[in-house]
Structure 1
Amino acid sequence: MHCLQLTTFFNVNLNVEISSTLAFFSAADMDDNYYKHCALALSRSLTAFQGTHLIKIFTATEPCQILVPASFCYALRMPAVMCFDAHMTIHLSIVIERGIALRHLSTYESSTAVTGFALATFSYGARSSTQLQFISALGIAVYTMRKYDFDARTFYCSGATKDTMFEVSITSYSIVAFEAIIIVMFGCIYHLNVRRSNVYDVRAKYQAKENLVVLRLLIPVVFFHFLVFFFFMAANAIASSIRNIFPTDTAFRVYLAAVYVSTLSFCSYSKSFQETQSLFTQCKQKSKARFLSHLSSRKRRMEMTPPSAYLPVPTNADDCLGPCT
């Protein structure tokens, strides 16, 4: 029975770790080669960690041999904790970048890359500077697990232990709150871009329309992530509230594993979920195609526009009347 329980833990851990970490690289929209290398490296490392534990389960001659050190669990759980945090920092950086683009509509295209590098460093790293990775997410993750007991030994690796439960809860609920604030910020920036798109300055007009195209692509993604994470936290809160009805901690962990397995099975094999995911992917591809078409059309129009069109509109009436008056 114990082997069955621990084998269930193994499968759940492996699926949760790999899916959460790879989902981050997919959401970060990194280039294909970098994504493939990261996916391969993470899959191998997580499989090695979990495989080592699985071997101990089936080769142990007594229950105490199944226990693993806390440092093993810390290394296993840290990537998933970082990925949960990194999603929030990525979304926050994106909405800040769109806000800066709104603030400097006429000059944003000719601005330097300092702001982009700063935001990339804060969130996940730039495509051209992959060494600038996970700075803010790593800081939040280290704070979340700062009270991790490295002297303990356990049969189940969890980031939310008795010592770290308070920090994990605070961080998780803060992420939900920040995601809600980010959605409101996206809505405000979208509304302001709609108003600023009706201007006479050609550069400002096209930058505002470009912002609208990007926001229409990003808002559904951020909102969908908020809903998933919100229901995930609600499920955790409900599970924690009924913890006292289980006689042992092992029984409670088996219950959590069953919930995770049911959720993962639904996401993996449910026809309705797959159809929804396929529809969401098609919408994303269509939005991206419209965005690229808009950029190419904009480039052609900019090439056809004479330089005099970029001059500011005169504010003095005498400038418009000329010498004939």
Structure 2
Amino acid sequence: MGLVPVTEPGDRRLLRHEAVRPGRADLLTRHLLEVGMSSSPISLTYRTDDVLDAAIAAGCADEPVLEADGDGIHQTVWALSGEAAEALIVAMGDRPLYVTDGHHRLAAAVEALHRNPGIDGNHPLRWTQAVLFPDAEMQVLAAHRRVGDRTGRSAEDLIAALSRVGHLAPCADITEARPDGPGAVGIYLAGQWFSMDLPAASGDRAVDRLDVSRLQDSILAPVLAITDPGSDPMIDYVPEPVGIDSLVERCDADRRIGFVLHPTSVAEMMAVADEDGLMPPKSSYFEPKPRSGVFVRRLDREGLGA
């Protein structure tokens, strides 16, 4: 946990993989500039190694300065200073950092800089609050899709349309329909479960090979006319922690189709970011992430303009 430099998109120090909504970023920018505080750090990950793991372990050998519980999450905080902090900085080196949560907060920090030209390199706005987790300790969960058919086709017609994309295999329940690896999708439609192998990727970029992209390119766009999954009201998202029961209940309530995905891996996300690609909205749900309010940053305590 610490401060990282605010960088423009394309800067190889902080690699993004998700598009941002301008309205949301503007709201966060105004909050940062008017309130002068932040309580939700950006979450980052990185490719770890034994040297860095050892430096972190050494820093966590003493008693923690804070332990907090909430929402079933236990959070422990150690403070590093002096030689321990310097060893960690050296071990981290200049390896790239990958954003796992907080693309809009990072975009807001960039915009705050744009609105304050001429500030020097030590100004607090040139830095943003971030927490770093090693890639080996990241847990990636799927964000499932719930999609409506704007043409109002019957369940039979929708099944026929999906069957023209690939073989729909009837399943007894979600346990049978849930993908046990990449390349497949579980489908819930009108009280029935199916599984389908996704068609091949439409391109050779890392982002094209993602299951979420293959679903978008082969089913959501051509069959259900979802061309802008970030803003189309006919699609919403149910993260894995919310549960499949909730997905089913919501689909039954308004006759929507549920798509259950295998989670995107950390390695897949990194490959997309390395190519400066952008993943479809809600391609993954990363844990861990610190709860808001555990770390509060006040810009006025950092000597504005110092």
Q: Which one has the largest radius of gyration? A: 1
Establish whether TM, by shorter chain, passes 0.5. Answer: no
TM superposition score normalised by structure 2: 0.21
Which structure's residues are more often strand, by fraction?
2
Which fold has the larger relative contact order, with Cα–Cα distance below 8 Å and residues 6 or more apart in sequence? Answer: 2
Which structure's residues are more often helix, by fraction?
1
